[in-house]
Amino acid sequence: MLKTISQMGSILILLFLVSCNQNTDSDNSNDSQALSSSSEEDTSPFPQYVSPSTAAKADWELLFIGNSHTAQNRLPLLVASLIELGSQTRGEHSTAYAYLDISAMFLDERSTSGRTYKQIKDRGWTHIVLQGQKYSTTGLYTYPTDITEEWINIITEHAATPILFPEHPREGNGEEGLRVHNLHVDIAYRVSACVAPISLAWDLSRERYPEIRLHSDGNHANMNGTLLTAYIFYETITGFSARELPAVETIAVEVATQLKLKTVAAEILYLHPPCLNYP
């Protein structure tokens, strides 16, 4: 009996993780690569998240709403750490708090009156990141964006800055990044929001530094990829260049690699300012 329960639990976990990483096409090439975010050893140096109900108030309050791509290597906590590191470098000593509202659901499947809505309204967030807009992995289909736009309006009503998170492209895919970025830019044109140019940064890194691998399994980020994404969020949120950040000594990324990734982030953010359509 115990063995049966264990097997059922394993199946449920597997189904959750697979659904986190599929987009929507019937010919979705993510299907064969939909491995869990814990498919490789967790290299994140950060502890578990502190509940919003008990966490002390911080100068920077960050809520990330997303799936396993946002959860990978505890990206939100890395972003908060970079914000505090940059603040210390400037002699300001600001504090940052980040929390992840994780779900296998796409944004249009989350209830705008349920748990996610409660997370948004129950704390005075300064920035809220949205990841999980449906998109076509093949480019052959289009999906509604109205619910994502509704989430942006809800965030704005609660006085937080909405930031869209275009997912990075799958490994070896040279056209997905720009297409996904443009989808999110179109949303930001219709409703006021920032767009973190993450997928474009990954494309530039692959072009300029092909020796730096960013994926852990062809779909999710390894620590290099997570750090590049975090640099993009750091500058999008604070307005300060990632180039000014000192090396992060607590993560398994070589200092020389960190320097290259900071250069990529700063350049792509100069070319594609994230908040042209906000406020």
Whole-model pTM? Answer: 0.86
- For residue 166, is pLDDT > 50? yes
217 within a domain of the structure (yes/no): yes
Q: What is the pLDDT of residue 184?
A: 98
The domain that holds 126 is classified in CATH as: 3.40.50.1110
1 within a domain of the structure (yes/no): no
What is the tens place of the pLDDT at every residue in 57-97?
Answer: 999 999 999 999 999 999 999 999 999 999 999 999 999 99
278 within a domain of the structure (yes/no): no
- For residue 116, is pLDDT > 90? yes
Domain count, the chain: 1
Q: What is the pLDDT of residue 48?
A: 87
Q: Which pair of structure tokens corresponds to residue 176?
A: 């997905």
32 within a domain of the structure (yes/no): no
Q: What is the pLDDT of residue 42?
A: 55
46 within a domain of the structure (yes/no): no
165 within a domain of the structure (yes/no): yes
Domain that holds residue 232: 60-271
- In sequence order, what DSSP letters do the residues of 14-47 get, joined into one string? HHHHHHHH--S-TT-TTGGG---TTSS-------
Q: Which residue has the higher pLDDT, 27 or 265?
A: 265
190 within a domain of the structure (yes/no): yes
What is the tens place of the pLDDT at every residue in 257-275?
Answer: 999 999 999 999 999 999 9
Q: What is the pLDDT of residue 275?
A: 98
- For residue 193, is pLDDT > 80? yes
140 within a domain of the structure (yes/no): yes
Give the residue-averaged pLDDT of 21-42.
38
Q: What is the pLDDT of residue 43?
A: 59
Alpha helices per DSSP H over 59-145: 68-71, 75-89, 115-121
**Exposed/middle/buried for residue 64 (C-beta within 10 Å: 0-12, 13-18, 19+):** buried
CB 224 within 8 A of CB 262: no
